[in-house]
Amino acid sequence: MTGYVPPMTRLEIVHADASMVAVNKPSGLLSVPGRGEDKADCALSRVQGEFPDALTVHRLDMATSGLLLFARSKAAQRALSSLFARGEVNKRYIAEVWGVPVPAAGEISLPLITDWPRRPLQKVDWEIGKPSVTRYETLAATGRTARIALTPLTGRSHQLRVHLAEIHNPILGDEFYAHADALAAAPRLALHAASLGFVHPETGVPVRLESPVPF
């Protein structure tokens, strides 16, 4: 990654309690520090400016916007990370894609692995790829593009981006996987983490976090 220029808008706190902090990460901001001092500005460092005890639980791609969750203790980090690992966090993304998926709703199951010569890109590999599953639903279609809801059942790197590109509906503005027309159709990656649902590891109360789609 070169020319990192993160947005300077204030990081919106969506939820905060004694165990966790959830923020609305803007597109263009790293979730955690990258390599080099020029990539130290990230969601984690900004959250720690207000909550010094914040710890990473999961990540979003730099280009993806939306809900990002941090723990506020080692115990909370272990508990929340375990929820993600066991698939007990209901994640919903919204994307704008090229074309209209056929069928309009369904499930994409493709094994993914890092494309080492071109990392951080990922690719489908039927021999040694790791299983990855995404459910999708078309919400609206307008001409050459569609708005879809995505529920990843696994958490592979670039999973949603690769899955949609593989079914010939790449996400608009995706510099890694979109063809030229789809890349030019949006000023940013049109992918947003819109909601997170899980049981609070401390209180046992269901938590539902929402973030409005910015595109």
Q: Residue 61 catalytic?
A: yes
- Tell me the Ramachandran region of residue 173: left when phi exceeds 0, alpha when psi lies from -120 to 50, beta otherwise: left
48's enclosing H/E stretch is helix 43-50
DSSP state of 175: T
DSSP state of 62: T
Closest by alpha carbon to 200, among 50, 47, 17, 13?
Answer: 17
Q: How far apart are CA 115 and CA 125, in angstroms?
A: 9
One of 38, 41, 61, 115 is an active-site residue; which one?
Answer: 61
Which residues contact residue 190 at a Cβ distance below 8 angstroms, ignoring those fewer than 6 apart? 95, 96, 97, 171, 172, 173, 215
CA dihedral sign of residues 12, 10, 71, 90: positive
Residue with the two structure tokens 């819109």: 194
Q: How far apart are CA 24 and CA 10, in angstroms?
A: 10
Please list the active-site residues: 61
